[in-house]
Chain A
């Protein structure tokens, strides 16, 4: 399926929107531990930026760079990060996902913020991989 887009409006708006979407996505990602935000929303926003770029540019090209396989691995690695952070809690003597005994030289609230941000980043990566995979699978045309 050829989705190469020559429309001036789409291309211009994309060029204007994509950087701001990526910035906004990163803000939402890093703000998740004490405000409205979090990994899932951030992942969706960043994915929407990538989808924007894919629609305005050449979908086949995107397809050849980001293959199904790579995206699947991307999603898996994000999820693995979350599981490892969870198990870190057990290893350091707490319960699953209990961060307070992590051996870091900060007070408890800071450790919580760091650990939750790490989890949010994992969620964000996993969501990005999977959402773009879904987009490609439905729009891409090849199986």
Chain B
């Protein structure tokens, strides 16, 4: 299948969204001078990764992976359900991202109290 095929592009739209978000995040991290904006860029990247993983686990027509007997489409005798592993992984990754955000914000608060600015260029001259 060619890369320029419209079916290829539309069929993988979840990956394209993740890629675009990651690029936006990287740009924010590199181009913005405010320390908190830099970190927001990182948060965008992390969110993009969560979306990417969760879209991995989706199965067309599948139900939420909770044990129940009646609902859900069946193939043969098997009930189709979404892959729970990526979601479980992302739960852990969200916790990690949360810790990182809390740490970064408290650093930023303390840095602002010490220097009175969050401008990365002025601050890096101090180092």
A and B touch in the complex (CB under 8 A): yes
- Which residues of the partner chain B approach A138 to less than 8 Å between Cβ atoms? 102, 105-106, 109
- Is B106 a contact partner of A137 (Cβ separation < 8 A)? yes
Assuming the contacts A34-B67, A35-B66, asked whether A40 and B91 have C-beta atoms less than 8 A apart, the reply is: yes
Number of interface residues of A (CB under 8 A): 7
* Residue B95 is within 8 A (CB to CB) of chain A in the complex: yes
- Which residues of the partner chain B approach A134 to less than 8 Å between Cβ atoms? 102, 106
* Residue A9 is within 8 A (CB to CB) of chain B in the complex: no
Question: Which residues in window 43-99 of B have CB below 8 A to A?
Answer: 64, 66-67, 91, 95
Interface of A is mostly: helix
- Which residues of the partner chain A approach B64 to less than 8 Å between Cβ atoms? 36
C-alpha gap A36/B91 in the complex (Å):
12
- Is B102 a contact partner of A36 (Cβ separation < 8 A)? no
Question: Binary interface profile of A, 59-75, with partner B (CB < 8 Å = 1, else 0)?
Answer: 00000000000000000
- Is A40 a contact partner of B102 (Cβ separation < 8 A)? no
Shortest B111–chain A CB gap in Å is: 14
- Which residues of the partner chain B approach A40 to less than 8 Å between Cβ atoms? 91, 95
Shortest B27–chain A CB gap in Å is: 27
Question: Binary interface profile of A, 102-143, with partner B (CB < 8 Å = 1, else 0)?
Answer: 000000000000000000000000000000001001100000
- Which residues of the partner chain B approach A137 to less than 8 Å between Cβ atoms? 106
Question: Which residues in window 1-48 of A have CB below 8 A to B?
Answer: 34-36, 40
Question: Binary interface profile of A, 75-115, with partner B (CB < 8 Å = 1, else 0)?
Answer: 00000000000000000000000000000000000000000
A–B complex contacts, Cβ < 8 Å, 10 sampled: A34-B67, A35-B66, A36-B64, A36-B66, A134-B102, A134-B106, A137-B106, A138-B102, A138-B105, A138-B106
Beyond A138-B102, A138-B109: 11 further Cβ-contacts under 8 Å? A34-B67, A35-B66, A36-B64, A36-B66, A40-B91, A40-B95, A134-B102, A134-B106, A137-B106, A138-B105, A138-B106
Q: Which 7 interchain pairs have the tightest Cβ spacing?
A: A134-B102, A35-B66, A137-B106, A138-B105, A138-B106, A36-B66, A40-B95
